[in-house]
A and B are shown apart, each in its own frame.
Chain A
Amino acid sequence: MISEAVGSVFLWFSRFAIVYVVLVNFSFLVLMLFALRSIREFARSRDKERLEQIFRTRLAPPVSILCPAYNESVTITESVRSLLRILYSQHEVVVVNDGSKDDTLQALIGVFHLSRLDQYYEDTLPTKPVRAVYVSARYPKLVVVDKENGGKADALNAGINASRYPLVCAVDADAVLEEDALLHLVLPMMDRQTFVPVSGGNIRAANGSHIVRGMVERVRLPGKPIVMFQIVEYLRAFLSGRTAQASLNIMLIVSGAFGLFHKATVIAVGGYEVGTVGEDFELVVRISRYLHDRKERFEVCFIPQTVCWTEVPESWATLARQRNRWHRGMLETLVKHRKMAFNPKYGRTGVFGIGYFWLVEAFGPIVEVFGYVLLPVGAVLHLLPLVNAVLFLLVSIGFGVILSLGAIFLEEMSFHRYTRWRELGLLMWYAVLENFGYRQLGLYWRLLGTLDYFRKKTDWGAQQRVGFGTPTPPV
């Protein structure tokens, strides 16, 4: 009797799992088709010089770039230099030293000839105490805020307090922006008929590329499989996923590594939330909620041709911790704003945006990990037909390969940053390979993240810094 009951549980679960992966992957496919349609227009990149010429005038909105830094002494001066060099008519760079224990601040003071001010601005948003503010006569665009440690969200809020301009661009301290990145990112804020409170850029893995003085000189693929997997994954997530979401106006994540915000709106919703691990996602959701509540029309944009190069983890342990953290952050935000889920009052964002996150991102790892484990086991123990297990694997893995290769196609069709045949071959190979272990590993990490969430972990984990310009041997 018991074995019959167990058998039927397995059977029904297997059917559910199969239907689930079919629907989810099919929706990804549909999203990819939307991405295909919009990416072609982005690929016809606007003439950089003409853009620059127009942005030269005082009529372009000035931007404050916020750069929170914690223990970044290895890379901080190079990053700041590249930010100061960015092509834009009027911008400032606000670096926030979040109580670093190493000599991040000293490095900045030395290289940029900073002088100390005792008071510079007022606390619009509450933050941990600010120790001092530093400015430089030689580099008038640079402001450095030195404060007690409070986490990235707190540092960003301090940056917002210190910023002068109406638009703020949050950039990770170890990220390298291409010089015309800001021009492209600001354009939709000016060009749409609706209000654009948030605009996000594309993130690419810099590992293996040659970066000199804050500019990407040679884009190369690294030899390490772990990085290759992430590169393919980022292509899938950004080029395919976000382009599509933005075109349908359901985009919700603007990466913390690189995003442009309308400052007044951010202040109106209370700034970044301190204490959450997914502060970038949480802020965008909160802004969406706020604007929906006020019945104001808006659009969140994603600009795939603006690129931010960042270093992705090269060790499995660091990567696992990162994905665990991302997942916990996502769950925190979803739970906090659960009122929005499937709620038509929140428009497409609530129904399709948040709804997607619940159904696919939150629920997915549970269903799929159980699917990968239970179904083969069940088939071996004759608790369910072998066919079901095989069908599940076929759909998961097969469809996965199709989607991964689709992302490579999108990349090739639009920006083709990796120009050599060997690199394209490598990308395609890893697009196939990632579905035979890497994706499953990612799902497993996310499942652990779910468990950890329920156990209420809130730490960030440490990410070992490798430093820029020291690439792993290229292919």
Chain B
Amino acid sequence: MTAEAADIHQLVVGLFVVIGIIGLEVAAIASYKIEREQREAIEAKTKEAIVGRVIEALDRDEPLIIPLPRGLRGRATRETLIAMIATIRGEARTRLVGALEERGYVERTVRLLRSRRAATRARGCMILGGMLSERANAPLLDRFRNDPDQNVRLTAAEALAEIGNALTSADLIEAVKHSSNWQRLRVANVISRMGETAVPALLDSLADEDEAILRLALDILCDIAHVPEFMPVLRLLAHPSVEIRGRAVDLLGIAGDIDAIDQIIERAGDAVWFVRVRAIKSMERLSVPMSDEVADRYYARLVALLSDEKWWVRQRAAQALANAGSLGYQVLQASVSDAAVSALQMHDIREARA
């Protein structure tokens, strides 16, 4: 065989290899789709059947019989029931949860918490949270305290909150050390939902040295919007970190009372511009009712800020004046500040709508 013939031979082999790979790819794509369609068909059929059966049983007060937690049917059943549990409260919900417990769904999901893969453990926690069964409390608590993976710990905490087994907010705050912003947001969401019961622990944590904890606690308190004792917050107005000062001043505006206004007016002279903006916002929130003395200081500060070096501060001050009734309006009209014009116009536009 000549060299050229050998080359051609190799080319032909190459061509067949390429065609072969292409064939494999097409087969893989097709078989993937077939498998998925079959799976989806079974799931849809199961869900339809379950929904009908469950609603009938609930309606007629008959016992609920659902498939065992095995395979595709089990998974579809579980998902359907979790979706229904999320929609209704009361006796109907209790029956659905009971059905899941009786048939072994809860147990089976608890087994997922022992998996070696963190993602699986987290998924198990999430599912248990959806099933709302108190039998999951102990294993979830165990995961929250002992799991090496932070995401699993947080998911367990979220699940416990769903079920209604409140972890203390102190526990949770401890759990968010070294977390990402997203994870802190999730914890904040959980603690927020606890409402006012979480406030004492949050106020305690305002003495923490970790800035991330302070930020978290302040954010949640802003969300809950209830602070019975705001001395600890006042102290934070002088914190070296900008983020903390800003949030502290926000919180006073949302949850404080008129007694705090002097400190806030002072904060409106902060070195950093967006703390000044937030201070103005808080001033506005607390501004009614005001004694004459306080009003003097209030207006004086706002007028001073009309000549601030930063545009957004000037604009916010002008806005606050525009919203402060006829006196503030007149002050603005007399002002030469560039922010006054647009603030007056914006105020007029909003008033025209009302």
Binding site for B on A (CB under 8 A): 53-54, 57-60, 115-122, 133, 135-138, 164, 187, 189-193, 385, 387, 390-391, 394, 398-399, 401-402, 405-406, 408-409, 412-413, 416, 421, 424, 428, 432
Contacts and interface: CB of A to CB of B under 8 A. Distances in A.
Contact of B32 (A121, A401, A413): A413
Contacts of B312: 164
- List 3 A-B pairs, minimum CB-CB distance, nearest first: A137-B353, A122-B311, A398-B18
Given A117-B345, A119-B338, 14 more contacts: A57-B185, A57-B223, A117-B349, A135-B346, A137-B352, A391-B11, A394-B18, A402-B21, A405-B25, A405-B26, A406-B25, A409-B29, A409-B32, A424-B30
Contact of A394 (B14, B192, B349): B14
Contacts of B186: 54
Nearest to B36: A416
Contacts of A117: 342, 345-346, 349
A120 B11 contact: no
Could you tell me the dominant secondary structure of chain B's interface residues?
A: helix
B25 A387 contact: no
Interface string B172-203: 00000000111101101100100000000000
Interface string B212-224: 0000000100110
B353 A187 contact: no
B129 to A, nearest CB: 10
Nearest to A133: B342
A121 B188 CA distance: 34
B15 interface: yes
Nearest to A390: B11
Interface string B67-99: 000000000000000000000000000000000
B200 to A, nearest CB: 21
A58 B223 contact: yes
B180 A424 contact: no
Interface residues of B, number: 41
A137 B350 contact: yes
Nearest to B181: A190
Interface of B: 4, 7-8, 11, 14-15, 18, 21-22, 25-26, 28-30, 32-33, 36, 180-183, 185-186, 188-189, 192, 219, 222-223, 311-312, 315, 338, 341-342, 345-346, 349-350, 352-353
Given A191-B180, A412-B29, A53 B11 contact: no
A401 B41 CA distance: 32
Contact of A118 (B33, B181, B222, B341): B341
B11 A394 contact: yes
14 contacts: A54-B189, A58-B222, A59-B223, A115-B349, A117-B345, A121-B315, A137-B352, A387-B4, A387-B7, A394-B15, A398-B15, A399-B18, A408-B29, A424-B29
B346 A424 contact: no
A401 B18 contact: yes
Given A59-B188, A387-B11, A401-B22, A424 B345 contact: no
A191 B352 CA distance: 43
Given A54-B189, A57-B189, A412-B32, A119 B342 contact: yes
B83 to A, nearest CB: 10
A98 B115 CA distance: 57
A408 B185 CA distance: 36
A303 to B, nearest CB: 13
Nearest to A41: B119
Nearest to B151: A191
Contacts of A428: 26, 29
A295 B323 CA distance: 46
Contacts of B14: 391, 394, 398
